[in-house]
Amino acid sequence: MKSIISFLKVALPLAFGAFLIWYVFKDLTDQEKQELHISFSSANYFWIILSMVFGVLSHMSRAIRWKYTIQPLGKTPWFWNSFFTVMIGYVANLALPRLGEVTRPALLGKYEGLPFNKLFGTIAVSYTHLTLPTIYSV
Q: What is the pLDDT of residues 19-75, one digit of tens each?
A: 999 999 999 999 999 999 999 999 999 999 999 999 999 999 999 999 999 999 989
Cβ contacts of residue 33 below 8 Å, gap of 6+?
25
Residues 84 and 137 grouped into a single domain: yes
Residues 93 and 134 grouped into a single domain: yes
Residues 127 and 84 grouped into a single domain: yes
Number of domains in the chain: 2
Residue from 84, 106, 107, 98 nearest 127 by CA: 98
Bigger pLDDT: 49 or 127? Answer: 49
- pLDDT (0 to 100) of residue 131: 77
Residues 67 and 23 grouped into a single domain: no
Residues 34 and 56 grouped into a single domain: no
**φ, ψ dihedrals at 44, nearest 5°:** -95, 100
Domain range enclosing 115: 45-138
- pLDDT (0 to 100) of residue 138: 67
Instruction: Please compute the mean of the pLDDT values over residues 95-105 and round it to a whole number.
Output: 94
CA distance 132 to 138: 10
Residues 114 and 55 grouped into a single domain: yes
CB 108 within 8 A of CB 120: no
Rounded to two decimals, the pTM is 0.75
Query: Has residue 132 got a pLDDT over 80?
Result: no
Bigger pLDDT: 23 or 130? Answer: 23
- pLDDT (0 to 100) of residue 127: 80
